[in-house]
Chain A
Amino acid sequence: MKMTKSHRIALLFNANKIFDREVIAGVAAYLSSTRASWDLFLEEDFRLRLPGIEHWQGDGIIADFDDPAVAAALSRSRIPVVAVGGSYEDEAAYPLGVPYVATDNFKLIRLAYDHLIEAGLRRFALFSLPEAMENRWAQERENAFRSLMRRDKMEAEIFRGQGTSAPSWDEAVEQQIKWLHSLPKPVGIIAVTDARARQLLQACMIAGIEVPEQVALIGIDNDPLARMLTRIPLSSVIQGAQEMGRAAAHLLDQMLNGARLSNTRIMVPPAGINVLASSRHEPAKHPHVMRARHFIRQYACQGIKTGQVADYVGISRSSLESYFRQELNCSVHDEILRFKLDAATTILARGNCNIADVALSCGFTSIQYMHAVFKRELGCTPRAYQDRARQGFQAAPDAASITHPEDATDLCDDD
């Protein structure tokens, strides 16, 4: 058997960021599907390595070109480089002579915008970042938003705000609240990242602005951490980052085998959209109902009762119940339960988890009670629900052990 030479490959990414991690996961997925053998070099802080990277004794580099320092340092590289980064409206903004795998910024914004339109919003805004060379993608997302607004004959309402650092935190939040108050409601807001969306969601909470009734919000990245840190589950556009990693690895693999690909550009569209409570806008209800649901969305999983909701709204239990009957055709208790059930099914669908933990974290007083609610509302047990969610594709037969399926019929015959 022919031994394949092992290549030394550096991945210049910031593994603290969800997007970068997904790209790296894509590279790993590609490698596990081929016979290519790469020794991967990943650094805790790759920026320390940049000076003199051109002298590195390696065979190839895949790098985050959103960082101008990286792009500059690699412009003199003698070994094959594949660039990963954001798309640009202006052709001249792409680096020269390097194959480039891009996340399609326009399509990310368009997907978020289309979603907000379908959720019933008629006014839109974008929450961006202060302009910086490191986040040119945020400006590209602004451009995308601007051109969509122009197409639909609306003013492009864009707020950059401040970056969030500890000393100016309060001031940054104050400005965000001021901006939020200035917007005619209801409004659909796209944040250029989930981190940015989370900050805005927090500002909405502080200012008592109902999400999604007054502000429907969607971020980009589908970052589990941002979801975990928000009381109201955050909707988000999922970038095709893993596929970008696979594509970048494939291009580098080809280059290591002698292919010349300097003009290749691969644009990767979003992989999906995760629609959660923050953008499930519904036509306006009675203010008492809106306020009650806002409270329920935040605290349902902490085991609240109808009385506490009524206290929050500031009316009697019986008045609140009659408003709910009238507007939603259900009781306050039903609404709390529905939200708890939603939270539980979301966690269960995600995969391996302990049923008792799910019951606890979703505000059910016991496993037995959650069991009973599942049986009544969904007609199955929590366990059965989890199993059903897990059933996707059956694992394909292991390809590594055979070379040609048509000659390998003695190994397995499932007919």
Chain B
Amino acid sequence: MPPPLLTLKMQPTSVMTTKPSILSSTAHADDQVYTLRNAQDMCLTISERGAALVSWWAPDRYGRVADVLLGYPDAHGYADNRYYFGAVIGRWANRIAQGRFTVDGEALQTEANDRGNHLHGGPQGFHRARWQATMEDGGVSLRLVSPDGDGGFRGKLEVQVHYRLADDGSLTIAYEAVADAPTAVNLTVHPYFNLNGGSADVGDHMLQIDADYYMEIDQSGIPVTVAPVGGTAFDFRQPAAIGPRLAWPDPQIQLAGGFDHCYCVKPYNKGKPGPLREVARVYDPGSGRQLQVSTTEVGLQFYTGNALEGVHGRATRPYGRHDGFCLEAHAYPDQVNGPYAAAVILRPGQVYRQTTVYRLGLIQ
């Protein structure tokens, strides 16, 4: 088991010899970064800050290793992390209309930080918190206690996220949470992938999502209807390149400046999690890398990095629109205000659980 590293490492080699990096000169010099490896030459780093996936080095079909995640050049970026790069999102992933909902008749107002709505736990969400990490069970466990009233949510919430990297390239992310009062909980993780390692945007990536329905949104990103994907740019039941779909004349794509929509990957589950199932695949024809996403969750948010515009990241050039994509598994957006609100309320004595697996490999 490699010990926790004190440096934010950008190369998978020379782990232990890396000289103290920029980290030591920032305000968050003590954020530790943990490294997971497997037999396939993969190397994954996770920061205590935001429990964020910082980098994931993986070989392509020719054996060349590259980082398939977007990220900041130093720890300073993760302290603020306004693009949610790689971070765990909570207490509520995705949006809540106007930040308002009720639990057991009690009206709550969470922070409205995105076009009048609540987004991703608010400006001080879990993505900015310093988590407590330990190496255990062949992976990394990160723990966080979110106090009563955090971000406007009721009750104290204790969260644990466990990351484990298997030799077959599977990164299993297991979440658990308990609360001391009824509270809305919806967790996810927000890695931006670029399977070509950043040599171009993700327009040529071939995407497949096993979903017949997605959620149409209004101007502020709140879902308004469940619509069939058939005949629309949202139909990824057969693999299709992302770039051309962005060019289809579609009012929903125009609204979001790309894809930022939730697919219903377990449409008959009444908003409740179900068995772990593969719901999406993405492959990059150039590198041959393939990502498979499996989850217990009902929703899969597909986001094409529409807000990335001149973001100073780890690449030599600034990130631009569609330089990365996200597939975020979670409950339905704004589910607290929908017919299945009860399914996202965690009560004392219950345990919130979700599992999502990102498996990185090569196409045959």
Contacts and interface: CB of A to CB of B under 8 A. Distances in A.
Nearest to B239: A271
Contacts of B235: 33
B268 A271 contact: no
Given A269-B203, A271-B206, A412-B268, A34 B278 contact: no
Contacts of A389: 364
Interface in B233-276: 233, 235, 237-241, 243-244, 247-249, 264, 266-270, 272, 274
A246 B240 contact: yes
A106 B101 CA distance: 51
Contact of B244 (A36, A238, A240, A397): A240
Interface in A146-176: none
A29 B210 CA distance: 16
Given A272-B206, A393-B281, A405-B267, 13 more contacts: A242-B238, A247-B248, A250-B233, A253-B231, A254-B249, A269-B241, A269-B244, A270-B285, A396-B210, A406-B267, A414-B269, A414-B274, A415-B268
A30 B283 CA distance: 22
B244 A243 contact: yes
Interface in A87-116: 107, 111, 114
A393 B268 contact: no
A267 B269 contact: no
B230 A268 contact: no
Nearest to A34: B231
Contacts of B243: 267, 269
19 contacts: A33-B237, A35-B231, A118-B62, A240-B241, A240-B244, A250-B231, A254-B249, A269-B244, A271-B206, A389-B364, A394-B210, A399-B212, A405-B213, A406-B226, A406-B339, A409-B270, A413-B269, A414-B266, A415-B268
A393 B208 contact: yes
A1 interface: no
Nearest to A405: B267
In this complex, the member of B230, B267, B269 whose beta carbon has the largest number of chain A beta carbons within 10 angstroms is B267
B249 A271 contact: no
Interface of A: 29-30, 33-36, 107, 111, 114, 118, 238, 240, 242-243, 246-247, 250-251, 253-254, 259, 261, 264-273, 275, 349, 389, 393-394, 396-397, 399, 404-406, 408-409, 411-415
A33 B268 contact: no
Contact of B212 (A261, A396, A411): A396
Contact of A33 (B211, B230, B239, B274): B230
A25 to B, nearest CB: 11
Contacts of A266: 244, 247-248
A266 B357 CA distance: 33
A111 B286 contact: yes
Contact of A409 (B239, B241, B268): B268
B249 A261 contact: yes
B231 A30 contact: yes
Contacts of A272: 206, 283, 285, 363
A247 B243 CA distance: 12
B268 A408 contact: yes
A399 B263 CA distance: 14
Contacts of B230: 33-34, 399
B204 interface: yes
Given A33-B235, A405-B212, A259 B249 contact: yes
A374 B272 CA distance: 43
B228 interface: yes
B237 A396 contact: yes
A411 B248 contact: no
A240 B242 CA distance: 12
Interface string B220-233: 00000010111111
Interface string B126-154: 00000000000000000000000000000
Contacts of A247: 244, 248
A405 B264 contact: yes
Contacts of A269: 203-204, 241, 243-244, 285
A393 B210 contact: yes
Nearest to B338: A406
Contacts of A118: 61-62, 64
Given A254-B249, A268-B244, A405-B264, A111 B285 contact: yes
Contacts of B238: 29, 242
Contact of B268 (A107, A251, A267, A413): A413
A397 B211 CA distance: 9
Contacts of B340: 406
A251 B232 CA distance: 10
Given A33-B230, A107-B204, A397-B212, A414 B285 contact: no
Given A36-B231, A114-B286, A393 B278 contact: yes
Contacts of A253: 231
Nearest to B280: A393
A253 B230 CA distance: 13
A30 B231 CA distance: 6
